[in-house]
């Protein structure tokens, strides 16, 4: 690690409210004339999670570890430095003391309850009040994590949230601006493959390899026995697929030319005019049940956010206040971290081969009902009148597990976030249903399962995409998690799409689309058509090149999951008395059974699978209880 230029040994990024470790009084005296220090401590206070940072190498250099050092939050530190600058005559203005200098004991649960603002009954019912004992445990855990970072001589930032979740970032850019070269990373991978001897790592004078450090910190924290689980903060991706080298095929918005006829996925199941073999029967529900949804029902979309300036979004009354939960500035791609703006700024990620913005969350939310429907413009949504809460947890190149976990809880109304003034901001429209069109090629992380359990225990239904790796869902998250409704992707024929994951954990097959097919012969790809802005695209209605499109065909289990979320919202609208379990069982009871030959795949793709009776090269791929079909849903009285 390079010798820090600043007088203060530990610094933070522009978004963090942190404890700043000051080795000794002499260092603090030097700090008052360092302009870089002044800039750092005058940064705005964070509206996000509490963050503690530590640079053990610089602490060791100071030679006063744990004895004379002072730990100050930014506000008191700023006031201390300002006071010293005033005393030296550097500034003429005396210090105005802030409330942050006052020491206040954590409130008891009863006191916290009394201090809570008036909340909507559903919000208040789900609100997670953090007891004093839980807060104290977090503080103890935070100190244990600092010890682990110090032990293995790595810079780290530690974040804790109201959910009890804690994150330690190794080799934080906020602390160490030196970028790790590919050669260094490769050395770390080799060390991991050969087995890391963490005692030897701890004995070294320095440790600049982030992979080795991370593994050792994880092992150390697990061995302490003080944590329920310790796992890597994996980066999740959305579950939408692009054709290799293919172009987007969005359709152009035309004010008096509704595009519903191109949305085969909402149509009645069948082969007649106006029907589709792979349709989900939304048309039948709208007419037979005489309902297109209710504003009393809320669906949260945890995704990349929404294009708030999209013509069909900005005119929609269905979209209500959401939140941007992305904490990493590089991932956020909007110049800031967590805040009240869930707008999608784009997610171009050349490192992952994403060369154009996906606006994934806008497409997903449009399928559910975020787009204004039945307004003679654009496309229709599945549930016209429900509320949609956008919660941004994915950004450039994906989204962190820790952000997704907090997004799930905030969407359900069980934890608050914080505004610029540090005030609690609760979701005023707690979700009845949460859609997660995202995934990771790993088994379900314990922290994600914990987040899911915490909201399903409050009656929330969590609907998830099965994933697009053509593998069993047990190897995928959140599709392989418990207490979720897992949705596989089907094509316009009602067959399992070749990209879709499958397995015993899949609950239902729903329209996901297949851009390589045109089974209805309308000259358009059989993708799912929904809201999304694109530039320099082709209008599939005319085949002409146009400068701007507002709707696009896409494919993936990301598209299948929101069909089920919308279907559940419709059922909830008609039967608000149903519990979450009753909603799901009612939906699954109305699915159409799927012939064996409609859920198959090449045996060579997954050795050991069971071949079909008709073709030994094709193997069975379980894809749920049946194909989503709202026409056969029975609601009773």
Token output for 88: 């030296």
If one compares 282 and 14, the residue with the highest pLDDT of the two is 282
C-alpha to C-alpha distances, 518 to 250, 381, 503, 513, nearest whole angstrom: 15, 22, 27, 10
Residue 67 maps to a domain: yes
In 74-146, at which residue ranges do the beta strands (DSSP E only) sit?
A: none
Give yes or no for residue 213 having a pLDDT over 90.
Answer: no
Percentage of the chain surpassing pLDDT 90? 39
356 and 457 part of one domain:
yes
Residue 535 maps to a domain: no
Band (504; pLDDT cuts 50, 70, 90): very high
Task: Say what the pLDDT of residue 6 is.
Answer: 33
CATH of the domain at 558: 3.40.50.200
Task: Say what the pLDDT of residue 377 is.
Answer: 77
Percentage of the chain surpassing pLDDT 70? 62
Instruction: List, for residues 484-502, the tens digit of each pLDDT value.
Output: 999 999 999 999 999 999 9
Task: Say what the pLDDT of residue 352 is.
Answer: 77
Instruction: List, for residues 614-625, the tens digit of each pLDDT value.
Output: 888 888 999 999
DSSP per residue, 263-319:
-GGGSBSSSSTTB-TT---HHHHHHHS--S--TT-EEEEEES-B-TT-HHHHT-SSB
Q: Are 168 and 156 in contact (CB under 8 A)?
A: yes
| Gyration radius (Cα) of the chain, Å | 27
Instruction: List, for residues 507-560, the tens digit of each pLDDT value.
Output: 999 999 999 999 988 888 999 999 998 888 777 566 678 888 888 899 999 999
Residue 626 maps to a domain: yes
Active site (catalytic) residues: 303, 360, 558
131 and 94 part of one domain:
no
Residues 561, 562, 565, 567, CA torsion sign: negative
Among 140, 130, 359, 109, residue whose Cα is nearest residue 242: 359
Task: Say what the pLDDT of residue 609 is.
Answer: 79
Instruction: List, for residues 439-482, the tens digit of each pLDDT value.
Output: 988 899 988 999 999 999 999 999 999 999 999 999 999 999 99
Residue 527 maps to a domain: no
What is the total residue count of the chain? 637
The last residue of a domain, from among 65, 81, 104: 104
Indicate the angle between helix axes 580-589 and 557-574, nearest 10 degrees.
110
Task: Say what the pLDDT of residue 254 is.
Answer: 29
1 and 87 part of one domain:
yes
Residue 580's contacts (CB-CB under 8 Å, 6 or more residues apart) are: 456, 459, 460, 461
493 and 617 part of one domain:
yes
Give yes or no for residue 19 having a pLDDT over 80.
Answer: no
Asked if the bond preceding 478 is cis, omega within 30° of 0, the reply is yes
Mean pLDDT of 35-54: 43
Instruction: List, for residues 105-140, the tens digit of each pLDDT value.
Output: 333 444 444 444 455 666 666 665 555 555 566 666
The last residue of a domain, from among 104, 120, 153: 104
If one compares 165 and 37, the residue with the highest pLDDT of the two is 165
Q: Which of 298-302, 311-315, 577-581 has the lowest mean pLDDT?
A: 311-315
If one compares 377 and 31, the residue with the highest pLDDT of the two is 377
Residue 531 maps to a domain: no
Tell me which residue has tokens 């964070």: 46
Task: Say what the pLDDT of residue 389 is.
Answer: 98
Band (234; pLDDT cuts 50, 70, 90): low
Tell me which residue has tokens 């012939």: 595
Residue 426 maps to a domain: yes
Instruction: List, for residues 412-430, the tens digit of each pLDDT value.
Output: 999 999 888 888 899 999 9
220 and 144 part of one domain:
yes
Give yes or no for residue 99 having a pLDDT over 90.
Answer: no
Token output for 466: 């099965």
Tell me which residue has tokens 């997670």: 128
Task: Say what the pLDDT of residue 196 is.
Answer: 65
389 and 508 part of one domain:
yes
Task: Say what the pLDDT of residue 132 is.
Answer: 55
84 and 192 part of one domain:
no
Residues 329, 330, 331, 333, CA torsion sign: positive
Question: In a 3-state reduction of DSSP, which class is residue 213?
Answer: helix
Band (184; pLDDT cuts 50, 70, 90): very low
Give yes or no for residue 258 having a pLDDT over 90.
Answer: no
Instruction: List, for residues 149-162, the tens digit of each pLDDT value.
Output: 777 666 655 666 65
Query: Cα–Cα distance between 119 and 114 in angstroms, integer?
Result: 12
Instruction: Residue 434: give the domain boundaries.
Output: 264-269+277-514+554-632
Total domains, the chain:
3
pTM, entire model: 0.70
Band (194; pLDDT cuts 50, 70, 90): low
If one compares 618 and 561, the residue with the highest pLDDT of the two is 561
Share of the chain residues as helix, strand and coil, in percent rounded to the nearest 5:
30, 20, 50
218 and 292 part of one domain:
no
Residue 242 maps to a domain: no
Task: Say what the pLDDT of residue 106 is.
Answer: 39
C-alpha to C-alpha distances, 308 to 55, 198, 256, 433, 521, nearest whole angstrom: 40, 49, 22, 22, 34
489 and 615 part of one domain:
yes
484 and 344 part of one domain:
yes
391 and 485 part of one domain:
yes
Q: Which of 203-207, 310-314, 368-372 has the lowest mean pLDDT?
A: 203-207
Residue 218 maps to a domain: yes
Task: Say what the pLDDT of residue 215 is.
Answer: 74
If one compares 444 and 173, the residue with the highest pLDDT of the two is 444
Average pLDDT of the chain is: 76
323 and 462 part of one domain:
yes
The last residue of a domain, from among 57, 88, 104: 104
């Amino acid at each position: 690690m390079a010798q820090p230029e600043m007088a203060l040994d530990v610094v933070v990024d522009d978004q963090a409210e942190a404890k700043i470790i000051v080795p000794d009084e002499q260092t603090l005296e030097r700090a008052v004339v360092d302009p870089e220090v002044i800039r750092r401590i005058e940064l705005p206070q964070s509206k996000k999670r509490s963050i503690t940072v530590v640079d053990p190498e610089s602490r060791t250099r100071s030679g006063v570890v744990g004895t004379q050092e002072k730990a100050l939050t930014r506000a008191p530190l700023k006031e201390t430095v300002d006071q010293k600058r005033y005393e030296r005559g550097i500034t003429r203005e005396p210090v105005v003391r802030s409330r942050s200098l006052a020491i206040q004991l954590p409130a008891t649960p009863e006191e916290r309850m009394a201090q809570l603002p008036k909340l909507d009954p559903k919000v208040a019912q789900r609100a997670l009040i953090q007891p004093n004992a839980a807060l104290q445990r977090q503080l103890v855990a935070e100190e244990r994590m600092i010890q682990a970072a110090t032990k293995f001589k790595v810079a780290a930032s530690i974040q804790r949230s109201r959910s009890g979740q804690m994150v330690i970032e190794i080799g934080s850019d906020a602390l160490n601006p030196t970028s790790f070269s590919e050669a260094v990373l490769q050395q770390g991978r080799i060390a991991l493959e050969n087995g890391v001897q963490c005692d030897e790592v701890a004995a070294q004078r320095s440790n600049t390899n982030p992979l080795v450090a991370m593994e050792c910190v994880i092992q150390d924290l697990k061995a302490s026995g003080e944590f329920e689980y310790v796992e890597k903060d994996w980066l999740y991706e959305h579950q939408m697929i692009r054709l290799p080298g293919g172009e987007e095929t969005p359709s152009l918005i035309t004010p008096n030319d509704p595009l519903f006829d191109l949305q085969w996925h909402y149509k009645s199941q069948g082969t007649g005019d106006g029907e589709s073999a792979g349709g989900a029967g939304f048309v039948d529900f709208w007419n037979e049940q005489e309902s297109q949804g209710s504003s009393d029902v809320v669906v949260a979309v945890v995704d990349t956010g929404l294009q708030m300036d999209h013509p069909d979004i900005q005119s929609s009354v269905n979209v209500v206040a959401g939140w941007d939960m992305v904490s990493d500035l590089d991932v956020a791609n909007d110049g800031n971290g967590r805040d009240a703006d869930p707008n999608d700024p784009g997610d171009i990620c050349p490192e992952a081969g994403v060369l154009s913005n996906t606006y994934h969350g806008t497409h997903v939310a449009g399928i559910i009902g975020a787009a204004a429907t039945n307004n003679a413009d654009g496309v229709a949504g599945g549930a016209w009148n429900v509320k949609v809460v956008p919660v941004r947890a994915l950004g450039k190149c994906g989204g962190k597990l820790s952000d997704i976990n907090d997004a799930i809880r905030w969407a359900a109304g069980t934890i608050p976030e914080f505004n610029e003034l540090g005030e609690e901001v609760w979701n005023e429209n707690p979700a009845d249903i949460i859609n997660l069109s995202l995934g990771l090629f790993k088994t379900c992380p314990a922290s994600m399962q914990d987040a899911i359990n915490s909201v399903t225990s409050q009656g929330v239904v969590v609907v998830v995409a099965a994933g697009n790796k053509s593998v069993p869902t047990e190897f995928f998250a959140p599709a392989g998690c418990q207490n979720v409704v897992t949705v596989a992707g089907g094509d316009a024929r009602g067959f399992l799409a070749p990209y879709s994951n499958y397995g015993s954990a899949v609950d239902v097959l729903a329209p996901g689309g297949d851009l390589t097919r045109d089974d209805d012969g309308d000259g358009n790809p059989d993708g799912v058509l929904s809201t999304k802005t694109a530039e320099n695209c082709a209008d599939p209605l005319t085949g002409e090149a146009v400068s701007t499109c507002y709707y696009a065909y896409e494919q993936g289990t990301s598209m299948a999951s929101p069909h089920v979320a919308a279907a559940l919202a419709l059922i909830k609208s008609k039967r608000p008395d149903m519990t979450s379990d009753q909603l799901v069982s009612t939906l699954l009871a109305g699915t159409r059974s799927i012939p064996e030959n409609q859920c198959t795949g090449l045996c060579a793709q997954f050795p050991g699978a069971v071949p079909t009776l008709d073709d030994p090269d094709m193997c069975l791929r379980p894809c749920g209880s049946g194909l989503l079909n709202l026409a056969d849903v029975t609601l009773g009285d």
